[in-house]
Structure 1
Amino acid sequence: MISDLRAPSLRRRMACWIYEGLLLFGVLFISGYLFSTLSQSRHALDNRHGLQAFLFLVIGIYFTWFGHKGQTLAMKTWHIRVVDAQGNALSQKRAFARYIVSWIWFIPPLAIIAPYKLTGGETTVLFMGWVAVWALLSRFHPQRQFWHDVLAGTRLVNAAPADPIKSKT
């Protein structure tokens, strides 16, 4: 159990979020290549829905596995840990629930974009606007947690780096 249950600053959490996106780009690139090779897709739109389902599963495994362990690589870099509401390690079931609920970062703009033919710029503004609003809404939570964490019964906390002098003894 972690004694310091304070949330990291919004700036650190969002920097971690962006870094996580960069790391996921590599994971998705390799996974997409693997799917396309194994399914022998010859065109980008071949097996599009199968690819989307596969990538959804890959991301789910990534976040469930690392959520259960407490930290993704990005979280380790930014000294952030995900725990349950009491400060204990997450079960795989709770880590998976957090993954599903975290799609609230993307579902609202996707629902708005779907019926309209928006340009790339309009889509980017819509996504970035929603992300900014959703991130800033954490300021209204008493412990400054993201609302998807509240809904999933999890929280992000500060994870102090290991002291290299103490770890050698």
Structure 2
Amino acid sequence: MSAAAERTPLLRLFAALFYDLILLFAVLFFAALAILVLLGEDFGRSHAFQLYLYAIGLLYFTWFWTHGGQTLGLRTWRLRVTAGDGHSPVDWRRALLRALAAQLSWLALGLGYLWALWDRNGLTWHDRLSGTRVVRVP
């Protein structure tokens, strides 16, 4: 079975995501600290502050996916995000769409991720919507 056709174990995806969320929390902590020092504590209660942190979260995932296909969590668990063919790199449009669609997968109580258990290709909702897939790295 080729890497493109091979199913990625869901537990491995969750483990990589858990690693990434720990790292993202640290990134968001320091990003929040930096901007609050610059703009003051009142900025921390604004919608602009929330948007700032949200944008950093999106940038974290999209930048890594478009620069080698691996976040630090994916690299640790030997996984890579690719275009739907299982080989081509992900462009910014697909990466951003994947990041936004992944939120829908969570908002639906994780069903978008669990869908991979029934999908004939083992794809999540956000992989289907963005034309991407996660493959194992040898």
TM-score by structure 2 length? 0.88
Structure 2: runs of 5+ lacking an equivalent = none
In the alignment, structure 1 residue 56 sits paired with structure 2 residue 54: yes
The number of equivalent residue pairs is 134
Distance in 1 (alpha carbons) for counterparts of 2:7 and 2:41:
44
8 A contact 1:7–1:155 mirrored in 2: no
1:22-46: per-residue Cα shift (whole Å, max 9, x none)?
11110111111112112211585x2
In the alignment, structure 1 residue 157 sits paired with structure 2 residue 135: yes
Distance in 2 (alpha carbons) for counterparts of 1:51 and 1:85:
35
Choose 1 or 2 for highest CA Rg: 1
Q: 1:138 aligns with which of 116, 119, 130?
A: 116
State the partner residue of 2:73: 74
State the partner residue of 1:86: 85
1:100-120: per-residue Cα shift (whole Å, max 9, x none)?
211113445xxxxxxxxxxxx
Q: Percent identity?
A: 31
Distance in 2 (alpha carbons) for counterparts of 1:95 and 1:43:
29
Q: What is the letter of the counterpart of residue 83 of structure 2?
A: D
Distance in 1 (alpha carbons) for counterparts of 2:8 and 2:82:
13
State the partner residue of 2:27: 27
Structure 1: runs of 5+ lacking an equivalent = 109-129, 161-169
1:127-159: per-residue Cα shift (whole Å, max 9, x none)?
xxx13x443221111111111111111000101
